[in-house]
Structure 1
Amino acid sequence: MNKRLIFVLLGFGFSLSAFAQSAPATAVARGEYIIRITGCNDCHTPGYAEKGGNIPTAQWLTGNPVGFKGPWGVSYPVNLRLLMQSLTEDQWVNFSKNLQARPPMPWFTMQMISDSDLRATYQFVSLLGPAGVQSPAFVPPGGEIKTKYIDFVPTSAKHWNGFSHITAK
C-alpha cells in the first residue's frame, strides 16, 4: 500500500486494521447470505420454518431435537455451531466436500458449493460462536425413538390429504 493511500485512509478516520478487516467482513456477510438462501435454518434451527424465518440470528443453527423418520431410521439435524467449533476452516471444506448423510440432508448439494462459499459459511457460523447442545443420536430402524419426529415416508396418492392446488398471493 503506498504512502498516499495510507494518508488518505487515515485522514478519513480509517485505520489500517479496519481496512484489512473489510475482506473478512465481506466473507461473513456472504456466509450469512448462503445460510439464508440454502435453507440450512429450515432443519438446523428449531422453529425456523414454522415461524417463517422469524428467529433471531443468535438462535440459528443449534441443531434440532425433532427427527426425520424414514426407512433409514431417525436422523437429526446436527448443531452446526458446535460442529464447526470442532473443525478448522480447511477441515470444514473437506468435511463438506466429502459429506454423505442420511435424509433429508441434501449432502450432494454440499459437495457442489464452491470452496470460497464454504469458507464464508464457516466464517459466519464461527462468528456466531458455540451455542446449544448436541442433537440426539441417530436411531436405527426399529430402534426406540424418544423424541418427536417427522414421518418422512411418502404415502400413495389415494391416501394423500394434502392441498389439491397451490395459489399465489
Structure 2
Amino acid sequence: MSLSPSLSALRTAALAAAGLLLAAVPLAQPAAAEDAVARGKYLVGIAGCNDCHTPGYFLGKPDMARYLGGSEVGFEVPGLGVFHGPNLTPDKETGLGGWTDEQIIAAVTQGKAPDGRELAPVMPWHAFATLTPDDQKAIVAFLRSIPAVSNKVPGPFGPSEKPTSLILRVVPPQP
C-alpha cells in the first residue's frame, strides 16, 4: 500500500483548488470597491469638502440631506469676484454626473474644470496635488456613490457683477 497520492488524485485536488480560487475572485472585487468608497469618504471628510460644498454649512445648519450638493453662500475674492462651492454629487445636470473620472481628478489635483478654466482660488487643489492615484480614485468612487442632488449654485460672478446670494468677503487689512 503506497502513501503517495496518484497523479489523478493530485490533478483533481489542483482543479478543485483552482475552482475555489476562481469562485472567490468575484467576491474580492466588491470588497475592493467598498474599500475605495470608504477610503474616499474618509479623504473627503478630512479634506473638509463638506465645508464649502454642503448647503447650510456656512449658516451653521448644514443640510446633510443635500450633502455635497453645493453652497448657497459664495466667497468674494477682491478683484476676482464671487465663487460658490459647486455641487459635487453625481447629478447629471447640476453636479459631477457628466464629468469623467479623469475630469474630477484634474479638478481636485490641478484646479482645472473640464472646459479648461481654472477653478476659484479658494479651491485648495494645491493641497490635494500630491494625492496618490489610489486616493484620487477613491475620492471619485465616493463622490459617485453618494445620492445625486439637483442643486444649481449661483455664479460665478465677476468683480463687476452683483451677486444674487449671500457672500463671505475676504477683507484685506487697512494700512
* Interval containing the TM-score (normalised by the shorter chain): 0.7 to 0.9
Aligned to 2:105: 93
User: 1:89, CA displacement in angstroms?
Assistant: 1.7
User: 1:5, CA displacement in angstroms?
Assistant: 7.7
Percentage identity across paired residues of the two chains? 30
Long gaps (5+) in structure 1: 158-169
Name the SS of the counterpart of 1:21 in structure 2: helix
User: 1:144, CA displacement in angstroms?
Assistant: 1.2
Structure-1 separation of matches of 2:141 and 2:67: 14
Name the SS of the counterpart of 2:148 in structure 1: coil
Scaled by the length of structure 1, the TM-score of the pair is 0.74
Deviation per CA, 1:108-142, whole angstroms, max 9, x where unpaired?
A: 12322222111111111101132131211211112
Aligned to 2:88: 80
User: 1:76, CA displacement in angstroms?
Assistant: 0.7
User: 1:22, CA displacement in angstroms?
Assistant: 0.6
Q: Does 1:70 align with 2:88?
A: no
Long gaps (5+) in structure 2: 1-14, 112-117
Deviation per CA, 1:31-72, whole angstroms, max 9, x where unpaired?
A: 000010001001101233625xx754x521101111111211
Match of 1:40 among 45, 49, 63: 49
Scaled by the length of structure 2, the TM-score of the pair is 0.72
Q: Does 1:141 align with 2:159?
A: yes
Structure-2 separation of matches of 1:110 and 1:66: 23
Q: Does 1:26 align with 2:35?
A: yes
Could you say what the CA RMSD is over the residues aligned between the two structures, in angstroms?
2.8
Cα gap change, 1:146/1:21 in structure 2, threshold over 3 Å: closer, same or farther? same
* 2:37 counterpart letter in structure 1: V
